[in-house]
Amino acid sequence: MKKATMLLLFLWLLAGCQTVIHQGDNVEQKTMSIIHKELSPSFLTQKIQHIPYGRVASVHGFIGDDTIVYSSIRERWHVKTMSLETGEITSIYQTENPIVTVRPDPHFMYTFMEEKTPNGGSLITIVNNDGKVIHQQSIQALETDWNWNSFQKGSGVLTAYLEEGASSVTNIHIQEDEVIDSPLPVHAYNKWMNEHQLISFNWGKGLNLVADLELYDTLTGTTTTFERDVLAFEAQKAYYMIVRPEGENDKGTLHFQFWDKQTSEIVASFSIPMLQTHSGHYWLPSYDWNPDTNHFYTFAPKRSASVLEYNEPYELIQFSIDRNREEVIVTDTTHTPIVCSTNNLCLVGERGTKVLHVPSGVIQHVEEGER
C-alpha cells in the first residue's frame, strides 16, 4: 500500500508526465497557443471582494460558483466562506486544534475538515453551509484522506492510514442530516466512477510506480479488474480519465486519455513533458476538471527534465474534452495547486489565494495587498 504522503506528493509537487500509445489514440487533436486574449469587461470592472492581508491561511475551494472556503488563524483556527462578489463572510467552524484538511462538497452543501488533536489522533467534522455539525468522529490514524462522491449528494469515502501500513476505508453518507457509515473492502487510494462504483488503486507488493485499477460495486459487493499500469484516474458524468507515463530521462511524457463511459473508447487525449523525480514515484502535475464544461486544467513544463534541474516556467493548459482541443491559458507561470469552479474561475497559488478568470487570463488576489 502506498502511504498517503506519496499520494500527496503526486498532486502537490510541480509537474511531470509520460505517454503511452493505446487503442484509439488516432483521434484528431488540435492545439492552439493563446498568449493574448480579449479581457472580460465584467471581471475587470467589477473586482472581487478582498480579505484583509494576513487573515488567510489557505483558500481550499469553492462552495458555490463564486463563494470560496478558506481557513484563518487568529488565536483559534477558523473555517469561513466568502462571496467574491459581495464580500459576505460566514464562519462555519472554529477550533483550538490545527486544521490540516478542508474539502468543500462539489454539490455545495457540506464541508469536510480534519483537525489534529493533542493525543496525535484526528477529529473528523462535516458541517453544512450554516456551520451546523452534521458528523463528527475521532480517529487514531497517522493521517486521513477524504473523497467526496461528485455523483451522489452527501456521500464520500474516508480513508484512515494506520500503523504498519494498514488502512481502513469507510463510506459515509448523509441523508437529511443523518449519517450512515459502512466499511468498504477497497484499497486505500480510491476515486468514484459513478454513484455506486468506486475505483481503487492496487499497487501490488514492493515499490511499484503504476497500479492496477479495481472497480468495486457498492450495490453488489463485487470487485473486477478495470485497467492496468495506471498512474492517475478521475471520472465525471460522461467520461473518465486515465494517465499513463512513457519514456525516461529527458524524453519522458505523461499521456492523458479521456474515455467515453458508454462506449469505452478514447474520445480525446493530450500529452505533456514529464519531470523525473529519481525517488521511486512519478511526478504528477496539479489538475482539476470542470464537469459542466468538460474543461480539464493542468500545468505543463516546457520540456522533460529532472525535477531537481528544471527551473523554467510552466504553461497552464485548458483542454476541452468535447472538442479534443488544447489551449494555453497562461504561457509563463509557476506550478501550484489549482481548484476551479463551474463559473470560469480557478484558485491558484501555493495557498490558493489567487483567483484566475479563465476566459481573460486576469488574476486577482483574495488577500488585500497581496503581490
- Residue 186 CB contacts under 8 Å (≥ 6 apart), including other chains: 169, 198, 200, 214, 216, 223
Give the architecture-level CATH label for domain 4-365: 7 Propeller (2.130)
Write down the domain spans for the chain.
4-365
> What is the tens place of the pLDDT at every residue in 223-251?
999 999 999 999 999 999 999 999 876 67
> What is the tens place of the pLDDT at every residue in 110-152?
999 999 999 989 999 999 999 999 999 999 998 899 999 999 9
Backbone phi, psi, residue 43, to 5°: -75, -30
Among the listed residues 167, 195, 194, the one whose alpha carbon sits nearest the alpha carbon of residue 183: 167
User: Is 90 exceeded by the pLDDT of residue 177?
Assistant: no
Average pLDDT rounded to a whole number, residues 15-29: 33
Alpha helices (H) in the chain, listed in sequence order: 4-12, 41-45
> What is the tens place of the pLDDT at every residue in 80-99?
999 999 999 999 999 999 99
Please report which helix (H) or strand (E) contains residue 204, including its range: none
Q: Tell me the three cell numbers of residue 104.
A: 468543500
Higher pLDDT: 40 or 276? It is 276
Residues 265 and 24 sit within 8 Å (Cβ to Cβ): yes
Q: Which amino acid is at 319?
A: F
Provide DSSP, 193-253. SSSSEEEEEE--SS--SSEEEEEEETTT--EEEEEEEESEEEE-SSEEEEEEEE--GGG-E
